[in-house]
Structures are given as C-alpha cells and as structure tokens.
Amino acid sequence: MDNNQLYLTAEGLEKLKKELDFLIHTKRKEVANRIESAKELGDLSENAEYSDAKDEQAFLEGRISELANVVRHAVIIKNSSAKKDFVDIGSIVEAKNEKNDIKTYKIVGRQEADPGVGFISNESPIGRAFLGKRVGDTVEFQAPKGSVKFVVASIK
C-alpha cells in the first residue's frame, strides 16, 4: 500500500472537494476582508482583531493545503462484488462480538473514519484486524479496554 494514497469513497471525496472549494473561493475572501478591516483600526502590534484574523488565515491556509493534498492523492474505494468473499477497504462487515451482539462496520480510509457511525479506518487496530478476513473468521485486536474478539458474520 502506497503511503501517499488516501482511500476515500466517491461521496467522501466529493464532500472534501466541496469543502476545499468553499475554503478557497468564499472563506479565504472573508478572512482577507477581516484582515483589511483590522488594519484600518490602527497600530497592528496591539491590534487583537488583526492578530486573530492572521491566526485564522494561517489555520485556513493549512486546511486548504491539507485538503488539496488529500484530493491529489485520493484513491476511490470501489465496492465490487469480487470483494464480498473477504474484507477489504470499502467492505461493510457485520460481526458478532463475544456477547453475540451484531456490530456493523464500513472499512474506509483515515480521512473518512468516524467510529461513532461505524466508519472504521483501514489503518486503525480494528480495521487492520478485519482486512483479509472471511465470513466465519475470528478477529482479535487490542482496544484501550483490552483484547476484543469478533466473528465475521457477513461481508457486503
């Protein structure tokens, strides 16, 4: 796996492109206007508004750079039927825990990871543990609370 590649769903990439477009074409102008307005207030060395606007500009430019890098190195996750026999990036996995509760996870790239909604990074301990497994396989990984085991129930 190439370290420069960033795995995203088509929807995730589109969302990041929209954010990048907003930051470049809208937010950047707003911050520039804030800086100009703050300059008009006088002495820049003691101007809190100017300092805040410059800090926001630095953060904004960092985020723009980060998003541009993600878009440049994005690899779209394809949900092909060939992936249903083993867990891969893009797979939706239903797994039973030791209490026989079914948990559903979608294996995604780190940019889209959101464990609260079941989107698990392929680089996380649980994501790495699931990769390559088949229905019926036992998955074990270390979580902050200790060792966790699942049995893969289905792969979509």
Domain positions in the chain are 6-76, 81-155
The pLDDT value given to residue 105: 96
Please provide the CATH number assigned to the domain covering 81-155. 3.10.50.30
CA angle 70, 123, 1 (to 5 degrees): 70
The pLDDT assigned to 143 comes to: 87
How far, in Å, CA of 3 to CA of 152, rounded?
28
- pTM confidence score: 0.76
pLDDT in the model for residue 29? 97
Please tell me what DSSP assigns to residue 63: H
| Whole-Å CA distances, 128 to 7, 15, 39 | 14, 25, 51
Q: Both tokens of residue 14?
A: 């589109």
Q: Output the pLDDT for position 81.
A: 46
At 1 the pLDDT is 44
Q: Which residues of the chain have pLDDT under 50?
A: 1, 81
Query: Cα–Cα distance between 145 and 125 in angstroms, integer?
Result: 13
Fold of 6-76: Helix Hairpins (1.10.287)
Distance of alpha carbon 76 from alpha carbon 94, whole angstroms: 22
- What is the pLDDT at residue 136? 96
pLDDT of residue 80: 55
* CA-wise closest residue to 113 among 105, 80, 2, 153: 105
* pLDDT score recorded for residue 79: 64
